[in-house]
């Protein structure tokens, strides 16, 4: 009897909880898309109407925000910042992680502990001094300055992830390569990197997510619209009283789609990257 009661409680919780969660997670994204396609008058007249009315949908908001509100520019900026951050993180943290995993040098223990510590540092604690430094050096409104900051955020995670992966790769193959006369660089490029591809992909995806979504520093450092990234652009557009809900949601869709698409394409790697790196955020 007790067993039966407990099982029915568990199954009720499972079904009800599952349904509530699905709705709570999916609904905002569903509404985001619907709101971007529904005429504003309709949205204001009856906000509770959240169904799909194919005949009445309008697609003008996308070209409008893309051209009139310069989202093409913001998209380009976000793409630039993300790709450069991912590429530089991969190159330098591969080399660095290789050194920590394979080479003997003084300060190795300090460094591998330090990685974890730096990785815990919150961005907000350095926001003010970096604001001062970037203002002094003229790095504000400069996308490369933003990249520089993102690199400092991603290096610790990337170094940590890659070095623990390299440790699981047996060094025998690399040694064989060395004996056959390969230089260190070509050993890394031809042997270590291909063997660690899953970890590299995870790092790339995690880094991409950070750079694409980051708000605080984009907000503090970018003042001129020509340098806005998508998150900064959306926030600026939201503060503009002339902008409708519809346009705002259009911007949100434009910013969300790429990162969610990448997530579903590489879900397995993405999750590995999240579990390794996402203690933070």
Partner 1 sequence: MRIWGERGTLQDQEQRLAYLFLLVPVTIVFLVIIFPTVWNLWLSFHKLSLRDLRTSAPLSLNFTTYSYLKVFGDLDFTSSLIATLTYSIGGTLITLLLGLGTALLLSPKFRGRGAMRGLFLIPYIAPVVAVTFTWRLLLDPRGPIMTALVNVGWLKQPLHLLGQRPLAMTTLILFQGWRYFPLAFLFIMARLQAIPRTLYEAADVDGATPFQKFFYVTLPQLKLILATLGLLRFMWTFNRFDDVYLLTSGAAGTKVLPVLVVDYLIGQFDVGAGAAAAMVLFGCLTVLLIIYFRLIMRRAEQMEV
Site for partner 1 in 188-227 (CB under 8 A): 209, 212-213, 215-216, 220
Binding status of residue 93 toward partner 1 by CB under 8 A: yes
Binder of partner 1 out of 40, 169, 173, 271 (CB under 8 A): 271
What is the C-alpha to C-alpha distance for residues 63 and 69, in angstroms, rounded to an integer? 9
Residue 83 is encoded by which pair of tokens? 């790709």
Spatial neighbors of 142 by CB under 8 A, at least 6 apart, are: 134, 221, 227
Residue count at the site for partner 1 (CB under 8 A)?
93
- CB of residue 221 to partner 1, shortest distance in Å: 11
Minimum Å distance from CB 193 to partner 1? 14
Q: Does 274 bind partner 1 (CB under 8 A)?
A: yes
**Shortest gap between Cβ of 71 and partner 1 (angstroms)?**
13
Residue number with CB closer to partner 1 (29 or 59): 29
260 touches partner 1 (CB under 8 A):
yes
DSSP, residue by residue, the chain: -HHHHHHHHHHHHHHHHHHHHHHHHHHHHHHHHHHHHS-HHHHHH-TT--S--GGG----HHHIIIIIT-HHHHHHHHHHHHHHHHHHHHHHHHHHHHHHHH---TTHHHHHHHHHHHHT--HHHHHHHHHHHHHHHT-TT-HHHHHHHHHHHHHHHHHHHHHHHHHHS-THHHHHHHHTT--HHHHIIIIIHHHTHHHHHHHHHHHHHHHHH--HHHHHH--SGGG--HHHHHHHHHT-TT--HHHHHHHHHHHHHHHHHHHHHTHHHHHHHHHHHTT--
| Least gap, CB of 27 to partner 1 (angstroms) | 8
Q: Cβ 125 to partner 1, closest distance in Å? A: 5
CB of 201 to partner 1, least distance (A): 16
Total residue length of the chain: 281
Minimum distance from CB of 72 to partner 1 (Å)?
17
Establish if 159 lies at the interface with partner 1 (CB under 8 A). Answer: yes
Q: Which stretch binds partner 1 (CB under 8 A): 52-60, 171-179, 189-197, 251-259?
A: 251-259
124 to 143, contacts with partner 1 by CB under 8 A?
124-133, 135-136
The residue with tokens 């591969």 is 94
Question: By CB under 8 A, what part of segment 51-90 binds partner 1?
Answer: none
**54 or 120: CB nearest partner 1:** 120
Please identify which residue in 41, 68, 103, 241 interacts with partner 1, judged by CB under 8 A.
103
Among 37, 61, 82, 231, binds partner 1 (CB under 8 A): 231
- Comparing CB distances to partner 1, the nearer of 118 and 201 is 118
Residue 67 vs 135, nearer CB to partner 1: 135
Residue 34 exposed, middle or buried by CB count within 10 Å (0-12, 13-18, 19+): middle
Distance of closest approach, residue 249 Cβ to partner 1, in angstroms = 7
């Amino acid at each position: 009897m007790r067993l039966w009661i407990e099982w029915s409680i568990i199954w009720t919780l499972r079904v009800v909880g599952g349904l509530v969660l699905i709705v709570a997670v999916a609904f905002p994204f569903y509404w985001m898309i619907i709101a971007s396609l529904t005429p504003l008058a309709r949205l204001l007249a009856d906000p509770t109407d959240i169904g799909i009315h194919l005949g009445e949908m309008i697609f003008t908001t996308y070209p409008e925000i893309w051209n009139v509100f310069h989202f093409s520019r913001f998209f380009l900026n976000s793409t630039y910042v993300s790709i450069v951050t991912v590429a530089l993180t991969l190159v330098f943290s591969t080399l660095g992680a290789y050194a920590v995993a394979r080479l003997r040098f003084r300060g190795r223990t300090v460094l591998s502990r330090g990685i974890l510590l730096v990785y815990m540092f919150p961005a907000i604690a350095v926001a003010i001094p970096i604001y001062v430094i970037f203002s002094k050096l003229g790095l504000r409104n400069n996308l490369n300055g933003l990249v520089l900051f993102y690199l400092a955020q991603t290096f610790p995670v990337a170094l940590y992830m890659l070095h623990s992966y390299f440790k699981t790769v047996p060094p025998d193959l690399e040694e064989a390569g060395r004996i056959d006369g390969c230089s260190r660089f070509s050993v890394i490029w031809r042997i270590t990197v291909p063997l660690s591809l899953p970890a590299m992909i995870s790092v790339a995806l995690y880094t991409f997510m950070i750079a694409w979504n980051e708000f605080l520093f984009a907000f503090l450092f970018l003042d001129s619209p020509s340098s806005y990234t998508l998150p900064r652009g959306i926030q600026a557009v939201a503060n503009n009283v002339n902008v409708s809900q519809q346009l705002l949601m259009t911007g949100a869709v434009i910013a969300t789609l790429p990162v969610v698409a990448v997530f579903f394409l590489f879900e397995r790697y993405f999750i590995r990257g999240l579990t390794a790196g996402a203690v933070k955020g």
